[in-house]
């Protein structure tokens, strides 16, 4: 089977049964041999149809007698594929999008409904004929309007509108619907950013440096498989998003210190801490998931780092680190609202209830891991979400309960200074800074807290 659209349909069918989009996609791609261009098309169709699900459903509701939720599940998936190509794939001719979708219906048990599929897609083309964008009937309610147009659940739009203007919320939605970039973090213990930049350019991979991040390079051209790029095997660099690189700079680890990374896997920040400490000292990398810690060990080996010790288990249960750490990093499990562009289905999986559960977990982790810090030491709390219940509220509650801790804002010469707020914590807004959304704050334990 080498029909990219049929392969995308099979992956989407699994997603609609509850599979994670990336897992479903991997599963179907492993079974087939596709050329790069077809592989990219399958990936685009799967992630795009999942990401734009609410908008595509709204179009089905508009053009069909039966609402999208009342359509047979597989037929709804086929209509998503057809409409996604018509709405968002300018390089695919409309006639090809219609014909291949009708063919999909025929081959997947809907031969009797090919006329309906053809009619619905052609009706869309007629309405979109003026080139005025997607012909959506939109609500006057600003939350629903943005939710339908940019395909997000209302509650996420609401969370953003409480922090940003309508115009900025719309910019953030647009940013989250772009394909993610790949950023590298150069390992200064093995090479320099100049050497990596030249090696990548000579392999025809375009890169650019990023402000405030001395080790970061962003790939700005299609690079093919990451492990084939120059310097991968030699441990010259590791993939890590720009805003995640900021976190270890805020921690500011020093050579010879004892550090606990409380939720370490898959290890991007742990290995960065080791590099910043010139691999001298001890880093305890803790995580509940053994399989994800193995990924950390692989990266540490490739980067040739010796200072990392693995510790499997829930950081809320550990008693051995009491008052032992100069610095603790708590990169807490979160709803990931800052990285929705990287995980096509995350916007549909998280709910206000799951955010409340995460907020409770974050508070427990923070209360317990703060006991690991020596008097005068530092704890950095970080998440890749933009939800105040998981960020500002967690920190405010912690500080109210533990008076011997205080926020330490970044210095003016810190890479973090550009992102700091009057309250002293740092916040990265993707549409402003063009990188994943992040929240981070440095807390110091005052000396009289014994």
Residues with a catalytic annotation lie at: 384
β-bridge partners, 249:
none
Q: Is the peptide bond before 75 cis (omega within 30 degrees of 0)?
A: no
HEC profile for 310-340?
Answer: EEECCCCCCCCCCCCEEEEEEECCCCCCCCC
Q: Could you give the 3-state DSSP secondary structure of residue 301?
A: helix
The C-alpha atoms of residue 85 and residue 83 are separated, in whole angstroms, by 5
Question: In whole angstroms, what is the distance from residue 433 CA to residue 439 CA?
Answer: 13
Work out the number of other CB atoms within 10 angstroms of the CB of residue 341.
Answer: 20
Tell me which H or E stretch contains 111: none
β-bridge partners, 445 = 405
Cα–Cα dist 369/349, whole Å: 28
Plot region of 77 (φ>0 → left; ψ -120 to 50 → alpha; else → beta): alpha
Longest CA–CA span in the chain (Å) reads: 78
């Amino acid at each position: 089977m080498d029909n990219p659209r049929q392969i995308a349909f099979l992956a989407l069918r699994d997603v609609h049964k509850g599979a994670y989009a990336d897992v479903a996609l991997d599963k179907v791609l492993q079974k087939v041999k596709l050329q790069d261009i077809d592989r990219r098309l399958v990936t685009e169709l799967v992630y795009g149809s999942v990401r734009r699900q609410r908008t595509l459903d709204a179009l089905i509701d508009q053009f069909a007698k039966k609402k999208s939720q009342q359509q047979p599940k597989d037929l709804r998936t086929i209509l998503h594929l057809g409409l996604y190509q018509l709405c968002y794939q300018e390089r695919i001719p409309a006639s090809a999008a219609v014909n291949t979708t009708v063919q999909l219906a025929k081959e997947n048990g809907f031969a009797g409904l090919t006329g309906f599929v053809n009619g619905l897609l052609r009706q869309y083309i007629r309405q979109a004929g003026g080139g005025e964008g997607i012909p959506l009937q939109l609500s006057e309610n600003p939350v629903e309007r943005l939710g339908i147009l940019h395909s997000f659940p209302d509650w996420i739009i609401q969370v953003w509108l409480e922090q940003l203007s309508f115009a900025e919320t719309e910019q953030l939605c647009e940013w989250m619907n772009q394909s993610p970039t790949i950023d590298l973090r150069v390992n200064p213990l093995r090479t320099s950013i100049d050497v990596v930049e030249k090696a990548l350019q000579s392999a025809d991979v375009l890169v650019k440096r990023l402000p405030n991040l001395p080790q970061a390079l962003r790939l700005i051209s299609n690079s093919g498989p990451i492990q084939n790029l120059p310097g991968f095997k030699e441990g010259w660099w590791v993939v890590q998003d720009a805003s995640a690189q900021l976190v270890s700079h805020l921690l500011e680890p020093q050579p010879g210190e004892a550090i606990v990374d409380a939720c370490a896997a898959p290890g991007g920040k742990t290995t960065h801490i080791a590099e910043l400490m010139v691999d001298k000292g001890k880093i305890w990398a803790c995580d509940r998931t053994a399989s994800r810690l193995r990924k950390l060990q692989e990266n540490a080996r490739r980067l040739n780092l010796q200072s990392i010790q693995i510790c499997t288990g829930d950081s809320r249960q550990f008693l051995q680190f009491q008052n032992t750490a100069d610095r603790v990093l708590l990169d807490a499990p979160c709803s990931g609202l800052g990285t929705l562009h990287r995980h096509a289905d995350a916007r549909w999986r998280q709910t206000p209830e799951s955010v409340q559960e995460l907020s409770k977990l974050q508070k427990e982790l923070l209360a317990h891991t703060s006991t690991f810090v020596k008097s005068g030491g530092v704890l950095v709390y970080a998440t890749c979400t933009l939800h105040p219940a998981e960020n500002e509220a967690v920190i405010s509650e912690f500080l109210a309960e533990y008076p011997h801790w205080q926020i330490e804002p970044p210095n003016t010469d810190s890479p973090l200074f550009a992102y700091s707020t009057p309250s002293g914590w740092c916040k990265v807004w993707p549409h402003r800074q063009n990188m994943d959304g992040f929240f981070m704050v440095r807390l110091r334990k005052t000396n009289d807290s014994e």
